[in-house]
A and B are shown apart, each in its own frame.
Chain A
């Protein structure tokens, strides 16, 4: 969508104050979250998946003790499971899906874009036609068709996210490769006897990589949102494995008696997606800045 929207903002506000450190806050949030999702479920007093003593523990509001005297930071769900621990356990899956899904989609897109841009001709047309076909449907529709292909679960979600996420990056990388290919140092390297593969991977692709990395980072938040959406619809991660999407879905019919069950996991979700997209924005600004000064 043309110029990055949030991007200009921080630069203007911070110009003349300090060096641009807008990546710091989202990076800290993501770091704390990453540590939390690893440590909290591991250190939890009870197994976050186990259901026991339901009557004494169910639907405890946030910041309260249950009838056994245990404290629950964010309350409990209808089966008496601690929401904070479950939220962190769900975070493992969400972060994994976001990073791996967007990362592999980015890698696939980079590879396809590089091949298309480098080879040109019929192969280029074929690959770009494939991208066009996949881009002609809204991504959500493609995802819905895709999840029908296999049993719902983590692998299906990942495969579908990768299969529907590479096209934009492939186009970006292709354009960069075509632009870089024309620079004088490429024929120079070729004249010195560099093989085509070496030319592409050592001389051309590194110049296109910045764009791909930024686009991939921006895709992480989107991947997390889409995964949670699929899980919310019952087509993604299946209970009892917690994911932010299916936790929110599980709290839907409790909205009257215990709104926190549905609303608490969403806070983690929003925070993560927000941090991921701010980080992507910050990297994009930095890249744009380098381009200008270069």
Chain B
């Protein structure tokens, strides 16, 4: 869904279409989850519970009504921005997601920014020396990285930087914590807390960033090579522009728009993809929440997660569309 000119009637139409699409996504998720054979009551009750207990719980959670009635009630609540309460601990879904979303957004956002920074620089560097040994080496590394599962790289990272590093008695700053967002059992405040958080973030963030950067570098390299063959770039060189100016000015201006679009497209996937890194490193983010809520058939939380992811996709696309005229002046009216 990319629109080259945003006019107001078109904007209204796009907004209506987007809202309808979003509602369809939520409804589809609702129906799919209610079709699931697992009964939440059996997951929630203690082992000794009787059939009567299960029936009472189902009635309490309104799971004994027909799906159509459940859907109508859910739709009414959702339209009033009420996502309900978790089946498991009765906390409002908004609060549960409010705890988890910032973790994933920070993890995904930080690694995505880093991956675009590193990937863009690497890609341009490769294009500048294309066909030489450095280019070949980086291409090999990035192709392998792009084919590697994040969780496996994560385990390899832990094996190297936590266990191997302590076996080799490396200095403390080179050993990285394997699990968690902060050091457990220690109350830290201010700068010390931040330092602790950053220390715990190094492995997960750089891991996600490395995988992302591999893809970005491949994309930037091939786009940059296309641009470098363009006539106007030859003209720029002929006018006497230095190599540095050609790369930093002419090339960068042409890569801004595709990179922006790529960033918007990659953001939701990166936030969702962080589920593996969250699992490995024990971060309490959205991915973990989604998996545990689905395993426990905690429908309201699972639906809330899907809603949050869907919203993220839409907002990212919208942001890309609004920023596109800035990135690519040709789009402006």
Contacts and interface: CB of A to CB of B under 8 A. Distances in A.
Interface of A: 1-9, 12-13, 129, 132-134, 136-141, 144-151, 221, 225, 228-229, 232-235, 245, 248, 251-252, 255-256, 259, 262-263, 266, 269-270, 273-274, 277-278
A266 B313 contact: no
A144 B33 contact: no
Given A1-B219, A149-B35, A141 B290 contact: yes
Given A235-B291, A269-B149, A263 B159 contact: yes
A134 B32 CA distance: 12
Of A141, A148, A229, the most chain B CB neighbours within 10 A belong to: A141
Contacts of B222: 2-5, 7-9
A120 B152 CA distance: 45
Contacts of B309: 137-138, 141
Interface residues of B, number: 60
Given A149-B35, A233-B279, A259-B159, A144 B143 contact: no
Main secondary structure on chain A at its contact with chain B? helix
B218 A263 contact: no
Contact of A229 (B35, B131, B149, B258): B149
Interface of B: 21-22, 24-25, 28-29, 32-33, 35-38, 130-131, 136, 139, 143-144, 146-149, 151-152, 155-156, 158-159, 163, 215, 218-219, 221-223, 225-226, 258, 262, 268-269, 271-273, 275-276, 279-280, 290-291, 294-295, 297, 302, 305-306, 309-310, 313-314
A95 to B, nearest CB: 15
Contacts of B159: 255, 259, 262-263
A144 to B, nearest CB: 6
Contacts of B306: 137, 141, 145
A274 B295 contact: no
B265 to A, nearest CB: 8
Nearest to A152: B295
Given A137-B310, A138-B269, A262-B155, A273 B147 contact: yes
A5 B215 CA distance: 8
Contact of A263 (B156, B279, B302): B156
Given A248-B152, A270-B148, A273-B147, A144 B291 contact: yes
Nearest to A260: B159
Contacts of B36: 148-150
